């Protein structure tokens, strides 16, 4: 058997990887958007009610310490068991795990950005009688934008990592999976299928690097120039 035949997946596998590649990217984007919406809403609600100063800030240090030692993927067996007993499925469990692995990055970064808004800008918004829409458009969103970009970038990396575990799992003698690039990597690893594993890993790496170059670098540049807040 030649080296080319060992390392090169066949056309059928290649087509499947491309389809799963597109599906995985769409899944990360959709779940990332949900995490952004939930993170911004939760953070600003906590700040508006004064919860962040009293509870969130002390909890942030504790949560970061726990997260550093216990990754979200370690909670997946418990989460999967609860969802199966509640009538959920593998798809719901995968979505919940990806949200669990990404939500905190956005939540804490948005809280930090909102708390960093200078008091004089808040007072100016009150003096000029900004309504809710103007306050969001002219004050809150521009102020939290650099922090939000940082949170989204970190969350996207967490989502790709979580997809490898969330989409393919052994549970009580059964193999549960959903179709996706993460499942392809886990299944190929499980079966010792080097060609598919290599191809899927390369495809995921290309996606991550491409998105970093075309999206996150531009957003970081925009945050550092247009939305930089001088103190």
* Strand (E) or helix (H) holding 208: helix 194-211
The parts of the chain modelled with pLDDT lower than 50 are: 1-12, 68
Res 61: pLDDT: 54
Question: What is the rounded CA–CA span in Å between residue 150 and residue 168?
Answer: 29
Answer for the pair 186, 167: CB distance below 8 angstroms, yes or no. Answer: yes
What confidence score (pLDDT) does residue 219 get?
92
pLDDT of 15 reads 54
* Per-residue confidence (pLDDT) for residue 218, from 0 to 100: 92
- How far CA 92 is from CA of 71, 95, 102, 150, 160, in Å, comes to 19, 5, 16, 27, 17
Q: How far is CA 21 from CA 179, 181, 188, 198, in A?
A: 10, 6, 15, 14
CATH superfamily for 9-225 is MetI-like (1.10.3720.10)
Question: For 9-38, what is each residue's pLDDT tens digit?
Answer: 444 455 555 555 566 667 667 766 777 777
pTM as predicted: 0.73
């Amino acid at each position: 058997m030649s080296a080319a035949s060992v390392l090169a997946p066949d056309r059928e596998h290649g087509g499947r990887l491309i389809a799963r590649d597109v599906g995985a990217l769409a899944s990360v984007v959709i779940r990332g958007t949900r995490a952004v919406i939930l993170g911004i809403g939760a953070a600003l609600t906590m700040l508006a009610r004064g919860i962040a100063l009293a509870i969130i800030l002390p909890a942030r240090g504790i949560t970061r310490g726990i997260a550093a030692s216990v990754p979200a993927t370690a909670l997946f067996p418990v989460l999967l068991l609860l969802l199966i007993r509640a009538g959920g499925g593998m798809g719901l469990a995968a979505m919940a795990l990806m949200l669990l692995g990404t939500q905190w990055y956005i939540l804490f970064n948005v809280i930090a950005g909102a708390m960093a808004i200078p008091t004089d800008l808040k007072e100016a918004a009150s003096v000029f009688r900004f309504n809710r829409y103007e306050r969001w458009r002219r004050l809150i969103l521009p102020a939290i934008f650099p922090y939000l970009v940082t949170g989204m970038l970190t969350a996207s990396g967490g989502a790709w990592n979580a997809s490898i575990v969330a989409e393919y799992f052994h549970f009580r003698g059964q193999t549960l999976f959903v179709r996706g690039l993460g499942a392809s990597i886990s299944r190929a690893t499980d079966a010792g299928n080097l060609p598919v594993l290599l191809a899927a890993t390369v495809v995921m790496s290309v996606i991550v690097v491409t998105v970093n170059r075309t999206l996150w670098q531009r957003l970081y540049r925009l945050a550092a120039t247009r939305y930089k807040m001088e103190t």
